[in-house]
Amino acid sequence: MAFNDPIAELLTKIRNAKDAQHRHVDISFSKIKIKILDILKHHGFVENFLVNEEIRKIRVFLRYNKLRESVVRGLKRVSSSGLRQYIGYRDIPKVFNGMGIAILSTPQGVLDGETARNLKAGGEILCTVW
């Protein structure tokens, strides 16, 4: 199945899997998806992910607490293919007063909001996760 927006596909599949309380979800392979998942893993929103380059799939293991509630409360795609949203490093939002993260595509690569702010790198705001 072909998608026009691979980042929206990633976010939607994670959102649907967490709502259905699935242990893992399989998504198609993309370099930007791996970078976004690496940021989500570093911040504790997903437990782990495995990349299978032979069949071009990524298996994302979702993270839950002891009461089987998802750690991810929400995911929102900010910049879309029809309306790109670019921001300077001073305008990078703090998601839920620092409880969430903003993910940006900057000249230094795909970064979370705090790292981009420290590097003084603005760019396209891809999504927010809380």
Residue-number span of the structural domain to which 83 is assigned: 75-129
Residues 122 and 87 in one domain: yes
Rounded-to-integer distance, Cα 103 and Cα 50, Å: 21
- How much is the pLDDT for 2? 55
- When divided into structural domains, the chain yields a total of 2
Residue 69 lies in a domain: no
- Do 54 and 26 fall into the same domain? yes
Q: Is residue 103 part of a domain?
A: yes
> 110 near 100, Cβ under 8 Å?
no
Contact at 8 Å (CB) between 27 and 1? Answer: no
Q: Is residue 114 part of a domain?
A: yes
The answer to whether residue 67 sits within a structural domain is: no
Q: What is the pLDDT of residue 81?
A: 87
Q: How far apart are CA 32 and CA 40, in angstroms?
A: 12
Domain boundary among 15, 34, 62: 62
- Whole-number pLDDT of residue 37: 98
Both 58 and 99 in one domain: the answer is: no
Would you give per-residue pLDDT tens digits along the chain (130 residues)? 556 899 999 999 999 999 999 999 999 999 999 999 999 999 999 999 999 999 999 999 999 999 999 999 999 999 998 999 999 999 999 999 999 999 999 999 999 999 999 999 999 999 999 9
The CA distance from 20 to 5, in Å, is: 23
Rounded CA-CA distance 117/114 in Å is 5
Whether 123 and 84 share a structural domain: yes
Structure tokens at 48: 């782990």
